Amino acid sequence: MGPGALAHVLRQLPRPTNSQLLVGIDTADDAGVYQLDATTALVQTVDFFTPIVDDPYLFGQIAAANSLSDVYAMGGKPLTAMNIVAFPICSMDAEVLLAILQGGQSKVTEAGAVIVGGHTIEDAEPKYGLSVTGVVHPEKIWTNAGAEPGDKLILTKALGTGVLATAARAGMFPEGVAAAEESMVALNKTAAEIAGRFTVHACTDVTGFGLLGHLSEMAVASGVRMEIDSQKLPLLPEALEAATMGLIPAGAYANRDYLTAVTIRPGVATSLGDLCFDPQTSGGLIICLPEIETGPALEALKAAGVSSSVVIGSVVAKGGGEIYVY
Amino acid sequence: MSIEVDARGLACPQPVIATKKALDELPDGVITTIVDNTIAKENVLKFAVANNCGASVEEKNGQYYIKITKSAASNGSAERSETAPAGQAVYLITKNTLGHGNEELGGVLMKSFLHTLLEIKPLPRALLFINSGVYLTTDNSPVLDHLKSLAGQGVQILSCGTCLDYFSLKNHLAVGEITNMYTILAELNGAATAITL
């Protein structure tokens, strides 16, 4: 659901307090972190959604890559995963379910983790995702809250999966749709491993709230102001054309309406601005690190095959979470 | 001719698809797409603008009646906006220099050409940039100021998306909009005069 509606509900819940809880819901992070002992903390996350592609195996892969990403975005290593499935077993072939689960398993295996179980319910529309548990050293957690003025922001995957998923439903822009699928199945594992060699001040992954939604969470949690260069944003092929054609998912508008601290310079093309709010599935990592390490980090990311990686902007000052897109 | 597209109750992208279908079927005339939410309204408007059609919206009891005007002669561009220039010439610019012979001279000539174009009335309707022509509409272009002046006076500056991709310039577009072959052909077909450079 959209960030506005969700925040309204979450505000009404009592804040959990526990000395072992290192990362809770306060900073809108990707996963919760619970300390077990001096060197180990658990990273826990869950995510599931309705099919965004027709191919069930591909859908399983994308859902798993998306769920695993939250552990990577916290600096963690995924260990175990549990499937969450809703499926219309009366009206849909069980082979479809098998393919979804096979797709998911392939990505969990690629991540070096293991599926330990799951839960399935009957539902009119298929839904799939995973609850993933990982570990992280308690002193090496990447939250949203550590961005500092002078830092640079690296984005590791191109934008536009929401717009291109909409284009896919319209039967348009097949080249862009194929590129989006390829991007969505890619794990953020390598990007996170490379980032781990550098001084990561903050990290998150770009998913449903769009680039600016997740940047905004980071800016607010860190108490900083950011500037984003719209000309630097990595875009999936045909994403801009699809956005220009009005193939923009409802979520992009919800994200835009919620983000009041974001200013887009009037000269920035509308379609490019729309892509900044486009909800992403299994999007890339936003890695916030000191400027001096930016060059070597980018080089290492590209050398390791995370080829879309690019510096998209910087943390310019202390602030209240303002973002300026120019 | 006019077509009414009732897209109320449809989730995106269906209102855009239904409008596209109507637009494809209609040689010229008015399409009225009716939608019941602001998201569909914005998306259909974006679609109309992307297809060089005139568009206006009327709200009645929370329903949006989007009137899209397509004209065969000009592919709708005459009604595109009030700032549209009077001229109907369209230039297809196929490289970043002007003429054959010497590249350096060609660069000087292109600069001079676009500068002089600003002085000619009526201004052209659109400049379409393909192949290495897209070097003129992106960062580091020697003629960015001229093109921005033309754009400021209502001349459409359109760069071929495939070409920008090919030269890895997509993120460096500095003036105008990205376009596709469909729009390029529609512009050329709809032009009173089409000039290829």
Name the region of A111 (left: φ>0; alpha: ψ -120 to 50; beta: rest).
alpha
Residues 250-269, chain A, touching B (beta carbon < 8 A): 250, 253, 269
Q: Is A243 exposed, middle or buried (0-12, 13-18, 19+ CB in 10 A)?
A: buried
pTM of the entire predicted model: 0.72
Using the predicted structure, report yes or no on whether residue A49 has a pLDDT greater than 80: yes
ipTM attached to this prediction: 0.74
CA distance B197 to chain A (A): 25
Interchain proximity A271–B46, CB inside 8 Å = yes
The residue of chain B with its CA nearest to that of A172 is B17
- φ, ψ (nearest 5 deg) of residue B83: -90, 0
pLDDT score, position B187: 79
Q: For chain B, say whether A326 makes contact (Cβ under 8 Å).
A: no
Ordered per-residue pLDDT tens for chain B, 197 residues: 788 999 998 888 889 999 988 888 887 888 999 999 888 998 999 898 888 888 888 888 889 999 998 865 434 333 333 333 446 788 999 999 998 888 889 888 998 898 888 877 778 888 999 999 999 999 888 888 889 888 887 788 899 888 988 888 888 888 888 888 877 887 787 777 888 88
Q: How far apart are CA B156 and CA B176, in angstroms?
A: 7
The CB density around residue A2, as the number of other CB atoms within 10 Å, is 18
- Residues of chain B in contact with residue A249, where contact means CB-CB under 8 angstroms, are 12
What is the rounded radius of gyration, in angstroms, for the C-alpha atoms of chain A? 19
What CA–CA distance (Å, rounded) separates A143 from A214? 12
Tokens 């860190």, residue located:
A222
pLDDT for A324? 93
Own/partner contacts of B163-170, CB < 8 Å, gap of 24 or more, are B163/B129, B163/B130, B163/B131, B163/B132, B163/B133, B163/B134, B164/B134, B164/B138, B165/A237, B167/B132, B167/B134, B167/B135, B169/B134, B169/B135, B169/B138, B170/A235, B170/A240
Asked if B89 contacts B77 with a C-beta cutoff of 8 angstroms, the reply is no
Tens-digit pLDDT profile for residues B8-64: 988 888 899 999 888 888 878 889 999 998 889 989 998 988 888 888 888 888 899
Q: Could you read off the pLDDT of A97-145 as tens digits, one per residue?
A: 999 999 999 999 999 999 999 999 999 999 999 999 999 999 999 999 9
**Tens-place pLDDT, residues A272-290:** 999 999 999 999 999 999 9
The whole-angstrom separation of Cα A184 and Cα A177 is 10
**Contact in structure between A158 and A287 (CB atoms under 8 Å):** no
CB A278 within 8 A of CB A164: no
Q: What are the DSSP calls for A154-211, one per residue?
A: EE-S-B-HHHHHHHHHTT--HHHHHHHHHHHHS-SHHHHHHHTTS--SEEEE--TTHH
Substitution target from A163, A164, A241, A302 for chain B, most B beta carbons within 10 A: A241
The torsion angles phi and psi of A311, rounded to 5 degrees, stand at -80, 120
* Pick from A47-56, A73-82, B88-97: least confident: B88-97
DSSP-based three-state secondary structure for A180: helix
Give per-residue pLDDT as tens, A191-250.
Answer: 999 999 999 999 999 999 999 999 999 999 999 999 999 999 999 999 999 999 999 999
Mutate to test the interface with A, among B46, B139, B156 (most CBs of A within 10 A): B46
Mutate to test the interface with B, among A173, A248, A278 (most CBs of B within 10 A): A248
Residue A60 near residue A103 (C-beta atoms within 8 A): yes
